Amino acid sequence: MPLDPAPNSLGLLKPPSETRVVVAMSGGVDSSVVAAMLKDEGYDVVGVTLQLYDHGAALARKGACCAGRDIHDARRVAERMGFPHYVLDYESLFREAVIEEFADSYLAGATPVPCIRCNERVKFRDLLAVARDLDADCMATGHYIRRIMGPHGPELHRAADPARDQSYFLFSTTREQLAFLRFPLGGLASKAETRALAARYGLPVADKPDSQDICFVPAGNYAAVIEKLRPGAAEPGEIVHLDGRVLGRHEGVLRYTVGQRRGLGLGGLEEPLFVVRLDAERRQVVVGPREALLSRKVRLREVNWLGDGPLDGEHEVLARVRSTRQPVPALVRPEGDGAAVTLLAPEEGVAPGQACVFYAPEGSRVLGGGWIASAA
């Protein structure tokens, strides 16, 4: 009686040669290494790159994730490794699903994270559907995060390298998506290991710098992008102290973020002041002392829970309220159509529009998260 086949390196009960993997290729070193690695292991690899915005503007840009040069680089990698590569025009979808909301969120006084929306609404929804249409067995990406099989199915875990971990940006990955996704780089010890693999495969992107900007925001100039999308959006208004004093004028709420200290133009004051709140309706930038930035209660919307069983009752978690912060002890419980988070120690600068991501109190497991609606 023949033995059942052993799982391949992607956890599927097929030989690699009979396993089709669609690789989401941005043109950077990470996704290029994933494609090359899987092709080298004998998988049936299909590379797909998304054109997310106008090539004319993109070709003059460096440091963005899906510019014209990046599409060219992805194609060169596919040619080098000998697998098919397709470019899909997602420009209108990306504008509707990501860019428009980004602009509206800023105008409403929030601080959005468009990279999460791109993963959620474009890469892990529409591109994943394309992968299924191509009869793929799974889709692989270059994200630094781990997918580990647990007793109740696949679990999301932080990357082995804390410096590269991208779990904050992938909290909204659903169980259904996780069943189809693979993240081959999540277990690598460092980015140097990724670049060494790129050199080993002779990839033309082995020394390509990492992208730093949000792909549609050149040089981090959010205000210029929003003014182009929403002409007249940079309406001036007042800079107001929490105690009601009018301290100065500003050139548009969209130019400020919660927690900001520099660039307020409020010289000659005895105490350092920080942006505490953005009141888009009144066109006010509200400032106050550092202690006014502290929050313990956070309300979330659009919650994605990846723990075992439903999110009912109260759960102990570690909560990360910004991508650059360390997770801190917290309690989370369902509330209305969202969730309420109680931080056991107050955190600074918890801003609407950012994500709050949950982790297991011990170990590396990601338990989901939600979008910050308000904080107090």
Cα separation, 128 vs 180, whole angstroms: 8
Same domain, 135 and 239: no
Given 115, 138, 215, 356, which residue is catalytic?
215
The DSSP bridge pattern shows strands 138-140 and 338-348 to be: unpaired
Query: What does the block give as tokens for 88?
Result: 């899909």
Q: Which range, of 38-47, 243-252, 339-348, averages the lowest pLDDT?
A: 243-252
Our answer to whether residue 118 is catalytic in this structure is yes
Distance from chain centroid for Cα 187: 19
Q: Could you say which of 288, 319, 334 is where a domain stops?
A: 288
Same domain, 142 and 113: yes
pLDDT tens for each residue of 125-181: 999 999 999 999 999 999 999 999 999 999 999 999 999 999 999 999 999 999 999
Query: What does the block give as tokens for 178?
Result: 């996780």
Our answer to whether residue 65 is catalytic in this structure is no
Same domain, 109 and 185: yes
Same domain, 129 and 63: yes
Q: Are 185 and 30 in contact (CB under 8 A)?
A: yes
Cα separation, 244 vs 259, whole angstroms: 19
Q: Could you say which of 178, 195, 219 is where a domain stops?
A: 219
What is the pLDDT at residue 232? 72
pLDDT tens for each residue of 80-117: 999 999 999 999 999 989 999 998 888 888 888 999 99
Same domain, 142 and 115: yes
Is position 93 within any domain?
Answer: yes
Domain total of the chain: 3
What is the pLDDT at residue 64? 47
What's the farthest any 2 CA atoms get from each other in the chain?
86
CATH number at residue 283: 2.30.30.280
Q: What is the mean pLDDT of the chain?
A: 91
The DSSP bridge pattern shows strands 315-320 and 355-359 to be: antiparallel
CATH number at residue 49: 3.40.50.620
Given 65, 66, 115, 118, which residue is catalytic?
118
Full domain range(s) for residue 253: 234-288
Is position 228 within any domain?
Answer: no
Q: Could you say which of 219, 247, 265 is where a domain stops?
A: 219
